[in-house]
Amino acid sequence: MQKAAPGGGSQAGGMRMKTSPLAGRPAALGALVNVPKLVTAYYSETPDADVASERVVFGTSGHRGSSLERSFNEQHVLAICQAICHHRSRHAIDGPLFLGMDTHALSLPALTSALEVLAANNVHVMLAEGDEYTPTPAISHAILAHNHARTTGLADGIVITPSHNPPHDGGLKYNPPHGGAAETSITDWIQACANQLLKAELAGVKRVTWQQAIAAPTTHRHDYLTAYIGDLGSVIDMQAIAGSKIRLGVDPLGGAGVNYWSRIAEHYRLDLTVVNDAVDPTFRFMSLDWDGQIRMDPSSPFAMQRLIGLKERFDIAFACDTDHDRHGIVTRSAGLLPANHYLCAAVSYLFQHRPEWCEAAAIGTTVVSSQMIDRVAAKLGRDVYEVPAGFKWFAKGLLDGSLAFAGEESAGASFCRRDGRVWTTDKDGIVAALLAGEITARTGRDPGEIYRELAQDLGEPASDRVEAKATPAQKKILQNLSPEQVPSGELAGEAIQAILSHAPGNGAPLGGLKVITESAWFAARPSGTEDIYKIYAESFRGEEHLRRVIDGAQTIVNEALMETSNASSEQLNPERRYEPASDLSAGHVSKTDEEPMIAQMTYDLVCTSRTTGTDS
């Protein structure tokens, strides 16, 4: 078994959480999600808007949760979609809405609920031809294709997906007309509006029956698959891959792109094998992740055991998560590449093999991306645009061409077409995966070998990410960490050069803290999608120094939580039905600062209903 990165797992209060002995093994039948129970709970359980963990919460990318814990139920979807309709009216977004879903058990029920609201609000909805599953990048591609050269009648989209989350979760994310994940100002408004509707027991939500919705003149079909696949040659050198006759392997991990890969192979005459084309809402074919959960994470060596075991069969192999916006690259030379390693190899290759790209276009990274990318960028003579965690921060740069490439540590990336025009403004796991094929075909070396050469030239960092459970109140504390809470002028024996609470690229709050020395850095932040916090760290001085960096970071986090422990206890509501997730599964992120928006939201809803004929 390929092992996780050194120190993999999680750490809480200075104690590292152990990897489950089941990690990397097949799931036992008794551990599989009960799909009938899950779907029944979607319709039968009613969330309480006064309970923090049961409200609508848009994290880093969309609202996620489980129907079994009343954090993703029909009421959430109805309220969110009505809020999106109000947002569209307020901003004169009157073009089609591209609607897609992944293969999670709750995705089809949620899509049904969404269409009932959208049709009632006279939104022109584009459903997939043949009820095909729809990857996130295909939605982004469709939005941009429709909006090209338009100033009116602009389109937007909704993707029903909780990303790589466990089978018991559901999720929904909104993509505005720029095609990428919605920025915080939009999701904050939608979140507050949806929670106001929940509080009002859905008064003001317009809805028709499924039969009426599917037959409505505003409901249309769109062939996402053909449009997306037919355009891939504009972003990837598909002829080079086909001509090299390299053997490609892909594991869709039972996700939304499961039927895309065989069509890609057929259309471009690739020697590509789909190692598993099963779609099963229990995802029983997955090996268990580090904590013993099923999680369709293509960057996890535990979840990727099947493909890793097949690496000798292929020249290059890859996988994508459930909505196909993330990638995992498996090479003969290195097995499963850490996400940052592949991003470095991709940046190095692309900026030397895309002569039509703008010379001024920058490289987008997040504050938790490897500084190895900065070193590669400096060698290439390219600027780095560093933003907070979340791909939404890259959308406008990818759209206007100021960014030619954007990538994040969690294995998400997108980049320009070969001629420098925008491809997608959301993460695209499919093109990131196919790029690994292009790199191998054109250079004769796989991305793992490319990274080894870069490391020999620029230095090799040791890196780690530790995670720990955190209550919503603790997450709020960590989100507001300040430079003043770093008591010393040094970290792991080196002078601190910078303490950041805002991103250098766009000045946006990090939602945490980043501390930088000459050869190392760490960042501490709460997760936007799970009830945990994360510490990211990297050192160019080796594993021992990295451990010291992490120890210093953990001390700062522990002291911040201890200093505010009394305030933290007061923030917790002892009557709310919240239990920290024992397995780090995602979905129950709370936000307690939306109440000041409610009065304004009530006014906005009334005004919107008066201008659109909506009851509220």
23-55 confidence digits (pLDDT tens): 999 999 988 999 999 999 999 999 999 999 999
pLDDT at 597 over 90: no
Region class of 180: left (phi > 0), else alpha (psi between -120 and 50), else beta: beta
Q: 144 in helix, strand or coil?
A: helix
How confident is residue 538, by pLDDT bands cut at 50, 70 and 90?
Answer: very high
Q: 153 in helix, strand or coil?
A: coil
Q: Can you tell me the mean pLDDT for 561-566?
A: 66
Q: 446 in helix, strand or coil?
A: coil
Kindly name the residue from 113, 163, 348, 463 that is annotated as catalytic: 163
- Identify whether 419 is part of a domain: no
- Identify whether 112 is part of a domain: yes
Cα–Cα dist 187/174, whole Å? 8
DSSP secondary structure, 64-116, as one string: EEEGGGTSS-HHHHHHHHHHHHHHHHHTT--S-EEEEE-SSTTHHHHHHHHHH
Other residues' Cβ atoms within 10 Å of the Cβ of residue 316: 26
- Identify whether 124 is part of a domain: yes
220-253 confidence digits (pLDDT tens): 999 999 999 999 999 999 999 999 999 999 999 9
pLDDT at 9 over 60: no
Which structural domain range is residue 160 located in? 32-226+586-612
What is the identity of the amino acid at 425? T
pLDDT at 16 over 90: no
The pair of structure tokens assigned to 415 is 């980049």
Q: What is the mean pLDDT of the chain?
A: 89
**What burial class does residue 570 get, using C-beta atoms within 10 Å of its C-beta: 0-12 exposed, 13-18 middle, 19+ buried?**
exposed
pLDDT at 366 over 80: yes
Give bridge partners of residue 415 from the DSSP assignment: 405
Give the total residue count for the chain.
616
The larger pLDDT score, comparing residue 480 to residue 123, is at: 123
| Max Cα-Cα span within the chain | 68
pLDDT at position 391: 95
Alpha-carbon torsion (441, 447, 448, 453), positive or negative? positive
Q: Can you tell me the mean pLDDT for 539-565?
A: 90
- Asked whether 24 and 305 are in contact (CB, 8 A), the reply is yes
Cα–Cα distances in angstroms (integers) from residue 494 to residues 441, 513, 517, in the given order: 43, 18, 6
- Identify whether 388 is part of a domain: no
**Distance between the two ends of the chain, CA-based, in angstroms?**
56
The pair of structure tokens assigned to 224 is 């996402």
- Identify whether 220 is part of a domain: yes
- Identify whether 122 is part of a domain: yes
- Identify whether 590 is part of a domain: yes
Residues 6+ apart with CB under 8 A from 36: none
Q: Can you tell me the mean pLDDT for 206-211?
A: 98
pLDDT at position 61: 77
CATH of the domain at 117: 3.40.120.10
163 in catalytic set: yes
- Asked whether 551 and 83 are in contact (CB, 8 A), the reply is no
Q: Can you tell me the mean pLDDT for 6-25?
A: 58
495-515 confidence digits (pLDDT tens): 999 999 999 999 999 999 999
Residue 282: in which H helix or E strand, if any? none
Cα–Cα dist 256/100, whole Å? 9
146-196 confidence digits (pLDDT tens): 999 999 999 999 999 999 999 999 999 999 999 999 999 999 999 999 999
pLDDT at position 261: 98
What is the identity of the amino acid at 502? H
- Asked whether 426 and 395 are in contact (CB, 8 A), the reply is yes
Q: Can you tell me the mean pLDDT for 129-146?
A: 98
DSSP secondary structure code for residue 392 in this structure:
G
Q: Can you tell me the mean pLDDT for 67-77?
A: 98
448-495 confidence digits (pLDDT tens): 999 999 999 999 999 998 888 888 888 989 998 889 888 889 999 999
- Identify whether 268 is part of a domain: no
The number of folded domains in the chain is: 1
- Asked whether 561 and 471 are in contact (CB, 8 A), the reply is no
pLDDT at position 442: 98
Give bridge partners of residue 157 from the DSSP assignment: 98, 175
